Amino acid sequence: MSDDRGFFARLFGRKRERSSTPAPLPEPAVLRNEDDTWLEQLVVACGDGKRLDEVSSTDTLTHIDNLWLGGHERLATEWLEKLIALPYASEAAVATLRARLVDRLDERRELERGLVHLEALTTSDSHAVRAHYLLAEHHRKQGDDVLALRHYEAVLARDLDYPNVRARVARLRAARGLAAPSAGETVAGADVVGIAGGARYRLVRELGRGATGVVYLARDAELERDVAVKLLHPHLAAQQQQEALGRFFHEARVMASLRHPNVVAVLDLEEKARRIVLELAAGGTLREVLRDRGPRPLRRALERQGQLLTALSAAHKRGIIHRDIKPGNLMFRRDADAPGVELMLGDFGVAHLPDASGAIGADAARSRRPAEAVGTLAYMSPEQRRGEPPRPADDLWATAVVLYEMLTGRHPWTREVLLGGARTADDFRLPPATLAAAPPALAAAVQAYLDRLGSIDPDARPSTEQALAEVIALRADAISAGVLA
């Protein structure tokens, strides 16, 4: 009988076991330690709408780090990806998890896997600088100098002193045959924003950023005063972004044309330098005031509402709809509680401008094509969120949200209602204690005013002029009743 065993089996004398089916390969051991089990329980609970506040908590990140440090790096990144994908996680929680994930992927030399997360992080104020830097590094290593330069310049738009970035921008521009940017041409490398005849505006520090540009505190060397300098985002300054460039300066011209004490003043602009110089709001924003000092007294809130509506009245008469009324865009020249300091409306970056005929109002707005739903979600009217044509009533709705915040110190809705809940007639119902110090008749009048401004039906909202006249009358009644300012 022939031996059909293989050569090495015959050589070492081992007999081959015959089997009707091949033996299965051993399965890898399934990890079920304390950290893995804890994370699995968390995901299950979140799927049921529970423990959502723990998605990016210190405990959660500690369990993931334990897996990573224990040698289970791939599993740790997979858990981060699962948590990011949870449908009910907050934007802040997701951003925290994305940031941790891309850092881990970068350590594993697997950043390609995290590019989609990096792109998402570029819209997060807390993580944009790091995200742009990692994207720039990735594209540089891939040989894509154009994208690398765009992301490096985006880093410098947020942090002029980010390590090594200025040198890399200079090298990339030289490699592409581009001249070094003149001071002020982009934010990249610009300590000084120059104009013809010398350096006039010296950048000091970043104050904030919007959809189109970054705003810096700067020193006007010629007039020896502090100003705010707004520079177009570098990635919007490319030739193919001429529309964004045009809108950037159209915004400035709109603000300058209003010439109103309750609108931030435009002091200077230069298209070549892609720069707008604005008066400095040294008193900060209404958002900062509410955050640091709490709700405003009734008389002061009505006073600020009147100043806001005065600015909107001037804009609406010109056919301009702001579309982004919120406490962060309402500013003060000096301390908000100092005598005589008025509120100023700024940032017309997403404002809807009149058509060639200057038409405005409900009939003209309805005749236009549906508009893009732009603005800040928490202050957008229901019809604005649906992308309906812009109309002044959109701004009136936003003033109702702002007035509610001034009186209560908080937003009218929970996050769940804001994201998907239906609007009701009681959206702007003030807590009973809010107007407890006011006479009952005045309290009822203020509540009725707020309800009309925030009516679900835009046609039921008052006109800007009516809303202004009503709030002036309410403030007069508050003064007559001896309500404290």
Phi, psi of 232 (to 5 degrees): -60, 140
Helix axis angle, 392-408 relative to 464-480, nearest 10°? 20
Q: CA-to-CA distance for 131 and 154, rounded, in angstroms?
A: 10
For 107-264, strand residue ranges (E) read 192-195, 198-209, 213-220, 225-232
Q: CA-to-CA distance for 461 and 396, rounded, in angstroms?
A: 7
* Total residue length of the chain: 485
3-state secondary structure 147-159: HHHHHHHHHHHHC
Say whether 324 is catalytic: yes
- Please state, as a whole number, how many other Cβ atoms lie within 10 Å of the Cβ of residue 74: 13
Q: Across the strands, what pairs with 268? A: 277
Q: CA-to-CA distance for 276 and 193, rounded, in angstroms?
A: 11
Among 35, 36, 324, 347, the active-site one is 324
State the DSSP code for 199: E
322: nearest Cα among 414, 395, 408, 217 = 395
Q: CA-to-CA distance for 124 and 100, rounded, in angstroms?
A: 14
Q: CA-to-CA distance for 407 and 437, rounded, in angstroms?
A: 12
Q: Which residues are catalytic?
A: 324
